[in-house]
Amino acid sequence: MSDMLSYNSNAGDLDAVKSDGAATARNADTGQITLSSATTYYVPLSGDMRDTILTPAHTALVAVHIQWSAAIVLTVTLETCNFPHYRYGQQITGINPTTIAPPPVDVSNVDTTAGNWLQEFLSSTNVPITGGAVASNAITSTPAAGGAMIHIGNLGSKRARLKLVVGGTGGTVRVNKRGKQGV
């Protein structure tokens, strides 16, 4: 008999980080994140940033669901990284920032250094989608509300993020992830 373990301690909609590092929180009632035009955002899906962000670092089966509003012009890519967020693999949790300096950042969630974050392969065979298309390893929205589910199997990376590049028209997105491990 096989059971599935759930690694969703932080189950819920995710926040985004603007390319300049500014946090972009989701609406507490709707789970939606408002994105501005001509801006790049990142949605961390895992890593050592917080103890509660386990998926997909601790799971082999991951699903990421993204939903977007009708007006937004959006390109979404999935990127992965094995390098830690903080040098020496340390975490911020439990540190009082007024008395102890956090460890230095190694590879941030918004890092754009070539080779640190690598784009993963996406195709229409592993990304069911409506209101958009999958081409050139990216999800693109069309002028209609829509969404996509990215199914990732055999993922061994320490960290993963969605890169959201907003074109000439902003709008809202909602992002949620789940992970399971067969035993």
pLDDT at site 54? 52
> What does the pLDDT read at residue 96?
58
**Which residue range is the domain that position 176 belongs to?**
4-182
| Length reported for the chain | 183
The Cα diameter of the chain in Å comes to 52
Residue 178 near residue 54, CB atoms below 8 Å: no
pLDDT of residue 49: 44
105 Cβ contact partners less than 8 Å away, ≥ 6 residues apart: 85, 86, 87
The rounded radius of gyration (Å) of the Cα atoms in the chain is 16
> For the chain, how many structural domains are there in total?
1
* Cis status, amide bond into 143, omega within 30 of 0: no
Q: Given the DSSP bridges, would you call strands 138-141 and 40-44 parallel, antiparallel or unpaired?
A: unpaired
Q: CA-to-CA distance for 132 and 74, rounded, in angstroms?
A: 9
- State the CATH number of the domain containing residue 123: 2.60.120
Could you say which residues of the chain have pLDDT below 70? 1-11, 47-60, 88-102, 181-183
